């Protein structure tokens, strides 16, 4: 049982699983950023040319949100598949759906060519892409957490999270080169298609790696524990306990933890680019350059936060980062409002590393620890995607609508970031500490008796001293 004994870990297999998760996450976030930048920079004119610039941005964000509704369906479908059939099977299917749908976006005709069928095709492919992505990152996070040692689970899990930085970095580099090398005519005619073709290459590499990984050791142990539980119930002839009574508590906590990171991501990685171009008249390359620098910095931020989560506790780190983002939201928007390239870049780099990448470094592991092995992948995927639909999917759309209604004011953006971050702070405060939990346990972290939870907390705090 790899999760109980730190010495019983197949290092070679862990490296392959981590690389597989990293590649899948890189592809998901590359697709995410490719689309969000395209929605902010070119999709308004290509797919919604008859609208005003502000309304075109709103409609482009709307197609972005449609993919997140599909992610919720994919989370349940593939989450259940992962808990029943195994994590490895799901990871093959999800990576193929994501890669093929993203590549196909690059082949879509424009509004000028086929009229209304162009945005309809865009929405359909976003739905397919979202359906596949619904359990991709959850499956990768669960796999790595279940293979890793419990003493450094956060640090190892953070390397999968580095896929977000890798994908974001690649997407922004591609867009920066295209924006620098192509004039507007070439960009809107054919240049915008190039980034989506790159998804195909990432998909092939990820599939090749996943061909050689094993199934999670927790799946084999879960079958034994479930059979033991079934036999004990038959022997005792005791009535079956109500299902999901406490899972709902764990799910609510997980939703809140995810909400801040997802909401901040939707605002800072998606909407803010369009806001700066449309309302502040900032050059398009300024936003992509800021994202590139933030991604590079996060190669330090993510493993450091993952390491601190192992040492200090993931719950405490969540509270610290979310509180910091609440305090920082207004100063960040004031710096952006100056239109000064240096101040704007600094503001974005800090915001992305604290409110997005920092929280994400904790998310994959803590959410996996919150749920028992019986339904871990299902509940983790649902927690991620329910919050994603509301916060990341519709957050940019709400922000675009509010800013348009307030004639370009930055205040609605700051308020939304503060609200998102407060949700995460409160959820972390209400949560139990999950750091170092046995992932073979069938029950959820919130299912432990109060005195047992207090013993776990006291043990963690004493070990810190």
First to last CA, the chain: 28
Joined together, the tokens standing for residue 48 give: 């919604």
Provide DSSP, 348-405: HHHHHIIIIIIHHHHHHHHHHHHS-TTSHHHHHHHHHHHHIIIIIITHHHHHHHHHHH
How many beta carbons lie within 10 A of that of residue 305, not counting itself? 28
Second CATH level (architecture) for the domain 11-464: Up-down Bundle (1.20)
Specify the pLDDT at position 64: 59
Structural contact between residues 255 and 383, judged by C-beta atoms closer than 8 angstroms: yes
Token pair 């999917």: residue: 393
Specify the pLDDT at position 2: 44
How many beta carbons lie within 10 A of that of residue 159, not counting itself? 20
Model pTM? 0.79
- Burial (CB < 10 A; 0-12, 13-18, 19+), residue 7, is exposed
User: pLDDT tens track of the chain, all 465 residues?
Assistant: 444 445 456 788 888 888 888 888 888 778 777 877 777 677 777 776 666 566 555 566 556 566 767 888 899 999 999 888 888 888 888 888 888 988 898 898 888 888 878 878 888 888 888 888 888 888 888 888 988 888 899 999 998 888 878 887 888 788 888 888 888 788 888 888 888 888 888 888 888 888 888 888 888 787 777 767 667 666 665 555 545 444 488 999 999 999 999 999 889 877 887 788 888 888 877 887 888 898 899 999 999 999 999 999 999 999 999 999 999 999 999 999 998 999 999 999 999 999 999 999 999 899 999 998 888 999 999 998 888 778 877 788 888 888 888 888 889 999 999 999 999 999 999 999 999 898 988 888 887 655 444 445 545 444 444
Specify the pLDDT at position 7: 47
- Give CA torsion, residues 261, 265, 266, 268, to 10 deg: 130
**Separation CA 289–CA 282 (nearest Å):** 12
């Amino acid at each position: 049982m790899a999760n109980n004994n730190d010495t019983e870990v197949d290092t070679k297999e862990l490296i392959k699983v981590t690389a597989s998760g990293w590649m899948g996450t890189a592809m998901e976030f590359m697709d995410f950023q490719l689309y969000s930048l395209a929605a902010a920079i070119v999709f308004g004119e290509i797919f919604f040319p008859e609208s005003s610039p502000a309304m075109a941005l709103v409609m482009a964000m709307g197609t972005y949100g449609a993919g997140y509704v599909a992610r919720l369906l994919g989370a349940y479908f593939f989450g259940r598949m992962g808990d029943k059939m195994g994590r490895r099977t799901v990871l093959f299917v999800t990576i193929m759906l994501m890669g093929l749908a993203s590549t196909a976006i690059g082949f879509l005709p424009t509004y000028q060519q086929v009229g209304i069928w162009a945005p309809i095709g865009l929405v359909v492919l976003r739905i397919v892409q979202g359906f596949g992505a619904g359990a991709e990152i959850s499956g990768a996070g669960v796999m790595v957490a279940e293979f890793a040692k419990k003493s450094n689970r956060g640090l190892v899990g953070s390397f999968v999270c580095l896929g977000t930085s890798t994908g974001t970095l690649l997407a922004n580099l591609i867009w920066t080169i295209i924006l620098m090398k192509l004039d507007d005519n070439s960009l809107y005619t054919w240049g915008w298609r190039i980034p989506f073709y790159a998804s195909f290459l990432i998909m092939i590499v990820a599939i090749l790696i996943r061909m050689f990984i094993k199934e999670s050791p927790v799946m084999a142990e879960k079958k034994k524990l479930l059979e033991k539980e079934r036999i004990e119930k038959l022997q005792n002839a005791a009535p079956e306990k109500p299902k999901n009574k406490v899972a709902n508590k764990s799910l609510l906590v997980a939703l809140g933890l995810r909400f801040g990171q997802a909401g901040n991501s939707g605002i800072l990685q998606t909407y803010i680019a369009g806001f700066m171009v449309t309302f502040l008249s900032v050059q398009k390359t300024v936003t992509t350059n800021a994202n590139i620098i933030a991604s590079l910095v996060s190669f330090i931020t993510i493993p450091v936060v993952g390491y601190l989560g192992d040492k200090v506790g993931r719950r405490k780190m969540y509270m610290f980062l979310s509180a910091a983002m609440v305090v920082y939201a207004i100063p960040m928007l004031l710096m952006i409002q100056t239109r000064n390239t240096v101040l704007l870049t600094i503001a974005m780099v800090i915001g992305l590393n604290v409110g997005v990448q920092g929280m994400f470094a904790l998310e994959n592991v803590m959410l996996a620890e919150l749920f028992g092995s019986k339904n871990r992948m299902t509940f983790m995927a649902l927690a991620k995607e329910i919050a994603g639909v509301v916060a990341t999917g519709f957050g940019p759309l709400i922000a675009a609508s509010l800013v348009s209604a307030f004639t370009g004011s930055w205040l609605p953006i700051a308020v939304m970031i503060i609200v998102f971050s407060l949700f995460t702070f409160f959820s972390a405060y209400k949560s139990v500490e999950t750091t170092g939990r046995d992932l073979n346990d069938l029950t959820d972290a919130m299912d432990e008796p109060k005195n047992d939870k207090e013993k776990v907390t006291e043990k963690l705090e004493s070990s810190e001293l």
